[in-house]
Chain A
Amino acid sequence: MKVLLVEDDAALAEALGEALTDAGVLVEQAATGGEADFLVRTERYDAVILDLGLPDGDGSRWLAEWREDAIELPVLVLTARTRWSDKAAGFSAGADDYVTKPFETAEVLFRLHALVRRSHGHAHPLLRIGELAFDTHTGSVTLAGRPVSLTAQESRLLAYLAHAAPRVVSRSELAEHVYDRDHEPDSNVIDVQISRLRRKLGATCIETRRGRGYRLVDGDAAS
């Protein structure tokens, strides 16, 4: 999962960024609304964490602009506002959910996972593809009930495929959502990680569609 964190307070941005990274989320940061605006329009993210108090205009103003321009990515608003009228303004601008400062990282992650999952149209936090089960909140993976241990990178890759399943995901889409924009991988890296996942989950669970990309399938049904 790749997330844009828009927060002007450097200390909070750093702390929250680290905490999210530790939880396996790929985090990119913007300190101003203008910077966030540019990134949202040029990069692909699974969600945006948006602080309402930004130096160059209220966060809800930027959010309203994005929604007007049909940028529909899930937005989780961070607010230190104590007044409900201000919070309500955030919703009216098009926020999908909010977390009030001071927050707990677990709360932010919980909301974030739920937003991304729902943006892919899944109502239940546990995604099942055949015998494979992916818990969107904890990131844990089980195969036929047995836990599978994955690296952070593998976990992100599988999470994206699981959210998108049964849709085919192109290599460029994967690269955009799973990898840092400064370290865009060559196609080889994706191939290597896909084959590692296949080793851990069974060869048939990730289908390669030539020229189009990958998708998660019910391994048994395919064989």
Chain B
Amino acid sequence: MRRRRPSLATAPIAVRLLAAALVIMLISLPLAGVGLAHHFRASATAAFDERLESLLNVVVARLTYDSSTQRLKHDAALGDPRFDQVFSGWYWQVSDGADIRLTSRSLWDQRLPIRAHDTVVTRDLLGPRGTALRIIERDIHLAPLDTPLHVSVAITREELNAALDDFTTRLSASLIGVGVLLLLTLALQVHWGLAPLRRLQADLNAVENGTREMLDTRLPAELARLAGAINGVLARDQRLMERARHAAGNLAHALKTPVSVLSTLAEGFDDPARRRVKAEVARIDEAVRHHLARASAAGATGLNRRVAVAGTLAPVLDGLGRLAARRSITLDSDLPEGLCMHLDPQDLQELVGNLLENALHWARSRVLVSGGSDPYGTWLTIEDDGPGMSTDERRQSLSRGARLDELQPGSGLGLAIVNELVSLYGGRLRLEASPRGGLAAHVWLPDHVPTKA
């Protein structure tokens, strides 16, 4: 058989739900992350720019032109010592584009590039020593100068970038954390949510094994309805099976009397007509028994409760015990209390009844029924102290159509039926020489009945 490749169509519900959640998370969490990062970047940059603008305003406010010296003057410091540290990344510059220039000490011999603007403009640029700077600039008119002055303030982006990077890192970590947490809680949720389904399945197994008769309907509403429907199907199945068994039984019953008549009438014929008619009659009888056994066993396979062996066999052992006593045979049974088997009670009676009938037919003085269990199943043994069977006879007696003894009719007939019945239940019938001298028939049935007959 070729193995099917695993696909989502056949994947467990838990896997499907988790996969779906994972897909949603893989799309939504990064989107949320990108959105959040974008907004944070915008607002952090705006705040940074505001700070730049206020610094610009301070620079502009403290700017004076000394007409006497014809020089620009900038009194007092801006309050941040970094404007005085060389190449600190904090710079300001006032320029008219020609000779007049005033810069922070930090700029040293470097100059910020100028771009003329009437309004306040902020942008990014690379400053001295390749430092990424955020620069704000505007042109102002300072009386009595004719040319506009270009004022710029620049601060290194280092701080801003660090804040942005830090935010991104924290955001990613939190989002991953949220994702994992969501998946975990979802897994728990799925486990909890699917628990009734598992209970239903366990119940169904129990019904199949025969430990339960019906499914428990104390389940969530949707599953309760399903369990109810399955119970309905089980009950209907049972009814149909009963009806089929009944019909098979009735048909067998109805055929038996005419078959007896034919068989008896054939006694009056001469050979070979007698032999041929009797052979055909035997075939009819065998077919009836065969199909009756099948109808009873096949339908019931897999849906049987465990039956107590001793209790179920009591009427058969009692009845055949009386019969045996009249034939001067002792019928003993050694069946442990609590020994159970997985099969229909009637089939158990049929099975043991046939074996006992056979044993009583051949026994000289004693027949023993014993039973027990092993880890995988239950066994029953029926032994007699009769003449026993040869290896060939044993093999033949288990196949349909075998008739060991034409003189003593009925002998060995039941063995083929028992063999079929046992194999329908997934068990084994073994015929061996009994230590008592006769035949020992061992029946073994598995505890777990295969689902398919």
Contact = CB atoms under 8 A, between A and B. Distances in A.
Interface string A181-205: 0000000000000000000000000
B409 A106 contact: yes
Contact of A101 (B257, B318, B350, B353): B257
B260 interface: yes
Given A80-B256, A114-B327, A88 B316 contact: yes
Judged by DSSP, the binding face of B is helix
A107 B326 contact: no
B409 A101 contact: no
A122 to B, nearest CB: 11
A107 to B, nearest CB: 5
A104 B322 contact: no
A12 B257 contact: yes
Given A12-B261, A15-B261, A100-B410, A81 B253 contact: yes
A114 B253 CA distance: 27
Given A11-B258, A90-B319, A107 B350 contact: no
Interface residues of B, number: 39
Contact of A85 (B262, B284, B349): B349
A84 B253 contact: no
Contacts of B281: 102
A12 B264 contact: yes
A100 B260 CA distance: 10
Q: Which of A96, A102, A115 has the most CB of B within 10 A?
A: A102
Nearest to A15: B264
B357 to A, nearest CB: 8
Interface in A64-95: 80-85, 87-92, 95
B320 interface: yes
B64 interface: no
B323 A102 contact: no
B264 A101 contact: no
Contacts of A89: 315, 319
Nearest to A96: B326
Given A85-B349, A91-B318, A80 B409 contact: no
Given A18-B268, A83-B346, A105-B267, A123 B328 contact: yes
B268 A101 contact: no
Given A11-B258, A82-B292, A91-B320, A102 B349 contact: no
A22 B268 CA distance: 9
A90 B322 CA distance: 11
B346 A103 contact: no
A102 B353 contact: no
B263 A103 contact: yes
Contact of A104 (B289, B323, B410): B410
A91 B409 contact: no
Contacts of A104: 263, 267, 278, 409-410
Nearest to B352: A84
Interface string B24-51: 0000000000000000000000000000
Nearest to A107: B409
A47 B139 CA distance: 141
A92 B260 contact: no
Contacts of A92: 315, 318-319, 322
Contacts of B259: 101-102
Nearest to B321: A91
Contacts of B260: 12, 15-16, 101-103
Given A84-B350, A85-B349, A107-B410, A91 B323 contact: yes
A160 interface: no
A95 B325 CA distance: 12
Given A84-B316, A84-B346, A102-B285, A19 B264 contact: yes
B76 interface: no
Given A9-B257, A103-B260, A123-B328, 6 more contacts: A12-B264, A18-B264, A53-B253, A82-B350, A96-B326, A100-B410
15 contacts: A12-B264, A22-B268, A80-B253, A82-B252, A82-B289, A84-B350, A88-B319, A90-B319, A91-B322, A96-B326, A101-B257, A102-B259, A104-B267, A107-B409, A107-B410
Closest 5 CB pairs of A and B: A91-B319, A88-B319, A84-B349, A104-B409, A88-B315
